[in-house]
Amino acid sequence: MIHLELLFPEARGSDGVSGCCRKSRRAPFAFKYGNNSPQFKRYDLLDSELAPMTAVHGVLVDIYGIGVLITGNSGVGKSETALDLVRRGHRLVADDSVEIRQENEGTLVGRSPDLIQHLLEIRGLGIINVMTLFGAGAVRPFKRIVLCINLELWDQKKAYDRLGLEEEKMKIIDSEITKLTVPVRPGRNLAVIIEVAAMNFRLKRLGFDAAQEFSERLTDVIEEGDHEEFR
């Protein structure tokens, strides 16, 4: 059974309810499903449509369940990388323009504008329809964004992260997500690098951090060397 619940019962009058809605950025009502169950799900009415929204130039791909936002200057190879990822079995959400809504605190959900849904622009080839070419399993309508990978042309004067101990953040609306910078140069397989980055990010969330483990091993080796010198 579906029930309609007033989220601000303490508010009195239309001004009180509207005031609470503006402060909390939430809709006045919510659906409550299966309230006779000890655990039930509650979906806020109109929360998605009323959520703060912005648009980002980039590509959004679902890689092993991780929503990866690929950004970078025009022509760096974002769409070509997304096409390669689709061929590897991952799912395209949006290309060129990603509409991002902050549906809850710390929750960013990206989707494609209706005009360019399922489409990829490949320079020299033109516009292709990913769903028509690869099937319905190659696309999805929306995805929560948890990781941003920024592609930039290789700069020999810049020192890139080689260990992965430091974690950069990217702020979108009022939420922060992890950001990685991947330098682009001939010979680098960007699709594989991004795929592994998503897998490594998922492992970190599960508590397995290869960079931290290496750092601890190195510290142990250095400490053992220092002890041997004083013997």
For the chain, which domains are there?
A: 2-48 (no CATH), 53-210 (3.40.50.300)
Question: Is 23 a residue of the active site?
Answer: no
Q: Is 3 labeled as catalytic in the residue annotation? A: no
Catalytic residue chosen out of the listed positions 26, 44, 62, 78: 78
Q: How far is CA 211 from CA 168, 203, 218, in A?
A: 15, 12, 11
162 labelled catalytic: yes
**CA–CA gap between residue 211 and residue 200 (Å, rounded):** 10
Of the candidates 162, 185, 227, 231, the residue annotated as catalytic is 162
pLDDT value, residue 99: 96
Q: Which two tokens stand for residue 156?
A: 């020999």
Catalytic choice (42, 57, 169, 205)? 57
Q: How far apart are CA 76 and CA 63, in angstroms?
A: 20
| Nearest Cα residue to 107 out of 55, 65, 61, 52 | 52
pTM of the model: 0.75
Residue 172: its pLDDT value, please?
A: 93
Length of the chain: 231
Exactly one of 47, 96, 144, 202 is catalytic; name it: 96
* Mean pLDDT for back-to-back runs of 10 residues, the chain (231 residues): 49 57 58 49 58 92 96 92 96 96 89 95 93 96 96 87 83 93 90 95 88 84 68 57
pLDDT for the residue 4:
46
